[in-house]
Structures are given as structure tokens and as C-alpha cells.
A and B are shown apart, each in its own frame.
Chain A
Amino acid sequence: AQTVTQSQPEMSVQEAETVTLSCTYDTSESDYYLFWYKQPPSRQMILVIRQEAYKQQNATENRFSVNFQKAAKSFSLKISDSQLGDAAMYFCAYRSANTGNQFYFGTGTSLTVIP
């Protein structure tokens, strides 16, 4: 099975500053999808951003962007102009494009935003 690693259990950022959350994964496949999900205290999982492996261009959604390095199997999330509402658990996830629909989640990074 694929493994997803988030090496930062906790991170903090000053409000309005930028923070980068790390994610690496292990796979032998060439076609897959990568996701970042946010889980606030309400526990509702919210999709933040997605990336198709066949696309070289890094995905961007407003203040959220990724740095996708396919050869290095790295998929980091950058949050710009951090807001108090960004405080949450962030999970990186992998999904194969070919075999099944299962998502493989990392262990999560707890982000604190300091006012």
C-alpha cells in the first residue's frame, strides 16, 4: 500500500504570515492524485486543494498553493497571508488514478495561527 508521511505533527504561524506544511509519499505508480484536506475543530473534512500527478503546473487556490515535486515524491502546502480561520489539522492524501478509490492519509499536521 502507498504510504503518506507528514513529518510535522505541529506547526505555528503568525497571522498574515506564510507557512509551509510538508508531505512526502511513496508509490510506484505514475498516475495518481494528491490532496490536502483541512479538519477544523468541528471535525468536518474540507478539501483545500488537489493536484493531478500528470500536471507539471502546481495547483493554486486563492491563498493556498502546492509545491509538487514528482521525482522527489514531495507535495507541500503553502498557506499565504494566514488567517485565524486557517487553524486546523491538515491532512495530506494520496489516491491512485488506476487502482480503486481508496485515499491514503498522512498522520496530519496541527496548525496554530497566532494573532
Chain B
Amino acid sequence: GAVVSQHPSWVICKSGTSVKIECRSLDFQATTMFWYRQFPKQSLMLMATSNEGSKATYEQGVEKDKFLINHASLTLSTLTVTSAHPEDSSFYICSASDETGPHRTQYFGPGTRLTVL
């Protein structure tokens, strides 16, 4: 099956710093990638849809200046958490949509655990 990677897998940073998380589709081209946030024992909350070559579409309540998304190529999307604060600590998951297949399945990365001190 398709593989999606995320880097880093975990990161600890100081409050006020910015953190960049990369999401790569390794064996298919993804015109669309998605960023989710997951709190402990809760479901995935869609933050934004990342479209290659255009601006991301953010879900209601998600600050686009706080969570910067760049989809520079068909295999890479990045999420930058700017001026991170402890309440930004969470598990961030990306997914990539394989539009070439008949089922339009989303393949998920392994996630990035962000801890802001």
C-alpha cells in the first residue's frame, strides 16, 4: 500500500518558538494532503486541506496564521506551528489522498507528537 512519512516523529520545544512538521508521500503523487490534530483518546480533528500549488483551506476555528501550511510539491506538505504555546501540544497527523486509485483512499502518516514547554 501507499506510504506516507512524517518528520519528526516527536519534538519538544520551548514556548514561543516555531516548529515545522513535514509530510511526504513516498510512492505516489498527492495533489491533496490533510492535516489533523488528535488529543488523547479523542478522534482526529481536520485542521486544513493542503492543495499543491495553492493556498490551504482551513477548517472553522483553525488559525491560519498560527498553523502555516505549504504544499510545495506533489509529494511534500509542511505544517509550521508558529509561536507555539503549551496548548498547542498535541499529536499531529497528516494524510495524503491517492486520487489515481478507484477508492480515493487517504493514507496516513505515523504522526508527530509535539510537546511545548
Contacts and interface: CB of A to CB of B under 8 A. Distances in A.
23 contacts: A33-B103, A35-B105, A37-B108, A43-B38, A43-B111, A44-B110, A44-B111, A45-B44, A45-B95, A50-B103, A52-B103, A91-B43, A91-B44, A95-B104, A95-B106, A97-B104, A101-B34, A102-B34, A103-B95, A103-B106, A106-B43, A107-B43, A110-B41
B44 A102 contact: no
Range of interface residues on chain B?
20 to 34
Interface string A36-62: 010000111111001010000000000
B43 A105 contact: yes
Interface string B37-65: 01001111010010000000000000000
A85 interface: no
Nearest to A46: B108
Nearest to A9: B41
Query: Could you say which of B1, B41, B43, B108 has the most chain A C-beta atoms within 10 Å of its C-beta?
Result: B43
Range of interface residues on chain A?
20 to 34
Given A45-B108, A47-B1, A50-B103, A105 B49 contact: no
Nearest to B44: A105
A100 interface: yes
Contacts of B1: 47
Interface in A64-106: 91, 95, 97, 100-103, 105-106
Nearest to A103: B106
Contacts of B111: 43-44
A102 B103 CA distance: 13
B32 interface: yes
